Amino acid sequence: MEPDRQKFLAYLAGQGLKSTRQRDIIFDAFRSDGSHVSTEDLYLKIRRDHPGIGYATVHRTLKLFTECGLAEERHFGDGQVRYEWVAGKEHHDHLVCVRCGAVSEFEDEDIEALQQRIARRYGFTMTSHRHELYGVCSSCGGED
């Protein structure tokens, strides 16, 4: 079995939670497109093939993915939480196009190191960070 699915099942078992048909379906749908989707996005996508699955279940399952570390919540400032499948991906930050909403990912070791230095300077034990660049992407005419 794929390690990601295994991780999820292990988390469920460890918490005394159950494996269900709905969770399997949501797992597959989210893994196949876990690129910064909102609960609504995923719900609508799943509904096409599985009209019986409710919004609340999608919501709760995305929370589960987050709790077990397969997914992370993203807040890009439009008042909607987005979920990103992060299993098997390196840490990264985001570029968000303010016109079309496209999200790209970047990583930069130098910035990470500088962040740590700053946290240390302020006596912080850094647990996480958020770093987003907003602008106009090249296809939206970033050159104009």
Partner DNA sequence: TTTAAATTGATATCCGTTTTCACTTTTGGA
Partner DNA sequence: TCCAAAAGTGAAAACGGATATCAATTTAAA
Burial of residue 9, with CB atoms counted within 10 A of its CB: 0-12 exposed, 13-18 middle, 19 or more buried: middle
Question: Taking the complex as a whole, how short is the minimal distance between the CB of residue 66 and its own copies, in angstroms?
Answer: 13
User: Look-up: residue for tokens 């749908």?
Assistant: 29
- Is residue 15 within 8 A of residue 63, CB to CB? The reply is no
Residue 128 interacting with its own copies (CB under 8 A): yes
Residue 16 interacting with DNA (CB under 7 A): yes
Residue 52 interacting with DNA (CB under 7 A): yes
User: Look-up: residue for tokens 């509904």?
Assistant: 47
Residue 108 interacting with its own copies (CB under 8 A): yes
Report which residue type is found at 29: A
Residue with Cβ nearer DNA (57 or 112)? 57
Residue 106 interacting with its own copies (CB under 8 A): yes
In degrees rounded to 5, what are phi and psi of residue 61? -75, -35
Residue 103 interacting with its own copies (CB under 8 A): no
Q: Where on the chain is the footprint of its own copies (CB under 8 A)?
A: 75, 77, 95, 97-98, 104, 106, 108, 110-111, 114-115, 118-119, 121-138, 142-143
